Each structure stands twice: as structure tokens, then as C-alpha cells.
Structure 1
């Protein structure tokens, strides 16, 4: 799960979008570094910048407001390629091919139906462990808002773009802000974030079609794409399968291998080739979930040990102390003390 936060990234120019929002709202800027044109920052660093803004300006729909300020320079070369495309269909192809140059998150999937098509992406494994929950909700809102406003910039049309939006975030108290922006039904607590659009929009002409510029920009984007670090989605799948194994109280490698439709020997070999072991992945999953559960005062240490698929509390205590240097009880006391001091 941590590998996702270290290897996945966003284009550094998106921090300028956060900076612009801070200036408008009179907030302390999230921008502290000078980046070159094609720099990226890790996803973990990006989430911390979002966290800092949310601490100062905690409102529902924060991501919608940040995304509404998007301009082509925030997205970079992908936006300029999109501007040079002929139709919205070309733009969708560009989004699929080059998205990681500006937002290297979970890959977007395009599905075409009879009358509708959709753009969707999965939730990352770290979210299930309770990491960066609020910040990720803001990022989900921001992505959908950026796509919406970027489409508006590309097309001269008053026609509704979105048919329906499904957000993989908790339902807010007031959903009017969401439905008013997208002018369509918006659903929450979805398994994945999904934007559904009318298929008829695909033939919509874009207003700045330039085939010569499109070719030049695409060639440059292909070069940049080759330089991007490769993220191995296999590790993310093993993380997700290990979480499933823990929830089934069976954290044996045999169970995880079966979920992944492979054998324990092949799974061990594939992990070894990537410089990691199943034991390390299992410990990371357990450690993240242990901290999540310890924040919940309604759960006893014994109950947490059971949720993490340990045979007994003693085994959990021993493992947790090896990770943090503290017993689960001491870690919980320290967490509660730090939380109290923060709000005093």
C-alpha cells in the first residue's frame, strides 16, 4: 500500500492549482518548492498538500471548488493535446493514453454501452486501511470536477455533459452542491468512481482542432511517457487479496494465491522477482489496519487481534511492538494524547 503512495504521482503543475485556490481563499499556500516543467510529486506528498488545505478550509465539496479553477497549464501537455484533437472521441483516447503524465493514479477505464459510455477508476488499497480517507475523498471530487470543467473548456456547447456520476466517497450532508454543478444525479458510497456520459457526445467537434500541433505534441508526450517510472499493479492486487484474506480470518499464502488464481509457489516467485515477500506484505497490511482499529475506542485489543487474524492477543502484542516499539495499548494512549493536544 505504501508503494502506491511513493510510486504513483501527479504532475507538479497541479500544485499550482492548489496554490491558486489558497490565494483566492486567503489560505496558507501548499506551494513550497520550485519545480521544473515536467516534474512529478509522489502521491503521498500530494495527499499531504490536500490535507493541509482541508485543515484550514474543511468544507463539503472542497475538491469540486479546487477542480473548478483548472486551466490547461495545470494539466500540462495532456491538456494541449486535448485542445488539438478533432472530436470528443479523440479526447477520450488521449485521456486513456496519456493520463499518467498529469495524474498517475489508478488507471481510468473506458466502457462503451449502447447509448452511454463511462470513465471509471478503482479505489486504491490504502483507502481500505483507513489511510488518507478525507484527502482521498477530496481527490476523487477534484478529478471529476477537473474532467467536467476541462470538457467545458474544449467544447462550445450548453448541452449537459454528464448523465450520471457515481462517487466512491461517503455521502455528504448536502448533495445539492454536487447535483447543481454536474446537473445530473450524483450517487455516493460507490465501489468505484464513475462518470457516465451520453455516447452521442463522442462526435462533438472540439473548437481548437490542429492536426499538425497534435502530431508534434503526441510525439513529445510519447517520449515523456517512456520516462515515467513503471508501477507494478501486481503488488496492489496482492495487497487487496491479502486484505480479503485477513477479513476471512485466513492469512495463509495458499488463500491469497487462490484468490489471484495462481499457486503459492508461483506467487512467492513473482514476489521475489519484485524484491518483496508475502510476509512483508502481510505485516504491512496488518500494521496499517492495526493503527486504524486502535483509533476506534470501541474495539478492545483482543477484538483487534481477532480482526487481524491473529491466534491470540499475545501474538498481536508481540508483532505490533516489533513494528512500532510500543504495545498496542501504549500506542492507543499516545494517539489519544496527541489528538487531545492538537485540539487544546
Structure 2
């Protein structure tokens, strides 16, 4: 198995900065103290990722800026389902808590710091146990490693249980959280907002009553779930491929320029200071091709253009297809559907979601 190059979605970096400001630190000071490049916080980079080492360096600087404040707790509370992108959409549109856990276990490490989520059934309790898969940078001392590990696990535990409770109108009963570290002073500031936490335990985990697996979700929608699953699978495969360095480098160069389009193989190889032949060979060793990566980028852009209500002819022209039929064939290859069918299903799913949300608001 190839070694993974861990990376973190930019949405979490932006949320981290916003979380820091809730402690009264101006955003500019957070950016300076954590040495965050401003380019990472722009909307243009909303779908990009940063390296895991860069992420941990930023987090450790933030924790030094706000020591013993419970930043991990607050970050976990701030991690609403929407920040998890397609994974959040998949969970909220599911049918029951039990099915949510099945999907969460499969896709959890796709977005959340490369952690393994084990699900156990013991004494009529469901146990969600977290085990880190990452390795922290070697330059960190043991104290910093302990601090940052606690931040990651604190935020993950709080994120999971608060969002599970949020997606159903029923109470998840018998909740307990186990943490492997000592009780910190800042816990008292959050105690009333959190379930019971037991410290100095053998594992980092959440447990709750087995009967809660059948609890229905507030915004369950079969059509929305199907759409979300398509999005999650494509993101999962795409970023799994990005673990390979040459694929990551090529994807970083495949930027769309209005009026010009995507760069060619020749242009990308020139940017990477490689011959076309070498680039093709390296991509082949990574089990992909330049054409396949380009098609993935085109599909991403096509979805964004669909979301902006562009018609099919406009999208075809913008993406550089010679005829709308050529774009339709490409789109069918991406999704197994005609563009018109995909657009119709997406609009039905979104409409269904908002109708259910409106009903909930009306009931309240």
C-alpha cells in the first residue's frame, strides 16, 4: 500500500480562524501569529487542501496564542455538518442514526485528520472509538504532540456527538464520552454544553444506547441521499488519488482560465519542469492519465456551473467542447446520466430538502 500524503480541506482552516476570533482575538492577529498565507483564506481556494504538516504547524501556533482556553471544544462545537461538505450532506439526508454511522465509518478519515472510527456493540451500548492514523511532524516535542493530539481528538468527539444529536428530533440517550487525558481547567467553562466526559480512560470514545440506532433523521430524503453519495464517492476517489505526489502536482496546475480553458499536457509538463514523456510515465505509475485528471477537473467545474444555473449550451462552450453532444457524452461518462436528467434530479433533491426544512421551521 502506498504511503498517504495527508492533507486538510481549507474549510477547516477558515473555521479554525473564525473559532479563534470567538475568544476575542482579532482575525488579523490570528493570521499573523499562526503565519497563515492570506491566499489560503480566499474564496478562490475554498476547494483546495493544505498539507497536514502545514495544518499542524498552524494549529500549534494557535494553541500557543490561546493556551488552556478549550479551543478543541469550541472548534468541535463549531463544526456543523455544512463544513464537512458532501459528507455532511450525505449524513443529514440519510434515514436513521444507524445508517449514518455506517457511512461515517467508511468516509470519516476522508476529511477528519485521518482517524479510524471503530464502531462496537457492547452491553446494549454503541461505542464509537477514535484511533489516529496520522503521524505528527518529527520537529514537534512531546509536549506539543500531546497538546495537538488532544485538540484533534477533543474536536472530533464533540463534533460527532453534537451533530448526531442535531440531525434527529429525538434524544440520543445514555451518552458518555471517554477521554484518555487529564481533566483540564477549561472543561468547567463547557461542562453544561457537553455530555458527561470521563477522563483518564483507556480509549477516546463516545457511547450511547443501542436503541438509538433506529432514530429517524429530520431531513431524510432518498433523492438527496443518492445525490450526496455520488458527490462523496467522487471526492473520496479524487482525494485518495491526490495522496500520490505527482497527481497532486498536476491537479494544482489544472486551473481553469475563462476564455482560455484548462492548460494542456505540454503546458503542465513545462510548469513542472518535466518532459511530456516523463510526466505520462509518472502518471501511469500512479494508475492514471493526464486525460483522466483533466476530466475530473472538468466535471468539478461543470457541477459548479450547473449550481450557478448556467444552461447546458453555455457550460459546453465554457468547457471547450466542440458541440453540445460531445459535452453530453462526457457528462454521461462522469455520472451515467444525461446533463438534463442530472440537473432535474438535483433540483428535485434540493427542493425536497428545503420543503422539509420549511416544515420543521413551521412546526417550531
TM-score normalized with structure 2 length? 0.56
Which runs of structure 2 are paired with 1:110-259 in the superposition (5 Å)?
Answer: 110-123=119-132, 126=135, 130=142, 132-157=145-170, 159-161=171-173, 163-173=175-185, 175-177=187-189, 179-184=191-196, 186-229=197-240
Identify which of 8, 12, 15 aligns with 2:13: 15
Per the alignment, do residues 203 and 69 of structure 1 end up closer, same or farther by CA in structure 2, a change over 3 Å counting?
A: same
Which structure 1 segments of 5+ residues have no match?
233-344
Alignment partners' CA distance in 1, 2:239 and 2:174: 31
8 Å CA contact retained: 2:118, 2:129? yes
Moved more, 92-101 or 28-37: 28-37
CA RMSD of aligned residues (A): 2.9
Per the alignment, do residues 13 and 208 of structure 1 end up closer, same or farther by CA in structure 2, a change over 3 Å counting?
A: same
Residues 127-176 of structure 1 deviation map (CA, whole Å, 9 limit, x = unaligned): 7972522122111111111112212321223x355622111333324654
Alignment partners' CA distance in 2, 1:123 and 1:180: 27
Which structure 2 segments of 5+ residues have no match?
245-364
Matched, 1:50 2:50: no
Moved more, 171-180 or 159-168: 171-180
Give the secondary-structure state (helix, strand or coil) at the position aligned to 2:95. Answer: coil
2:75 aligns with 66
Alignment partners' CA distance in 2, 1:123 and 1:173: 25
2:305 aligns with none
Alignment partners' CA distance in 2, 1:72 and 1:26: 25
Shift of 1:66: 1.8
Residues 231-281 of structure 1 deviation map (CA, whole Å, 9 limit, x = unaligned): 79xxxxxxxxxxxxxxxxxxxxxxxxxxxxxxxxxxxxxxxxxxxxxxxxx
8 Å CA contact retained: 1:162, 1:195? no
2:100 aligns with 91
Matched, 1:77 2:86: yes
Number of equivalent positions: 227
Per the alignment, do residues 78 and 43 of structure 1 end up closer, same or farther by CA in structure 2, a change over 3 Å counting?
A: same
Alignment partners' CA distance in 2, 1:81 and 1:146: 16
1:29 aligns with 30
1:301 aligns with none
TM-score normalized with structure 1 length? 0.58
Per the alignment, do residues 198 and 215 of structure 1 end up closer, same or farther by CA in structure 2, a change over 3 Å counting?
A: same
Give the secondary-structure state (helix, strand or coil) at the position aligned to 1:91. Answer: helix
Alignment partners' CA distance in 2, 1:104 and 1:173: 26
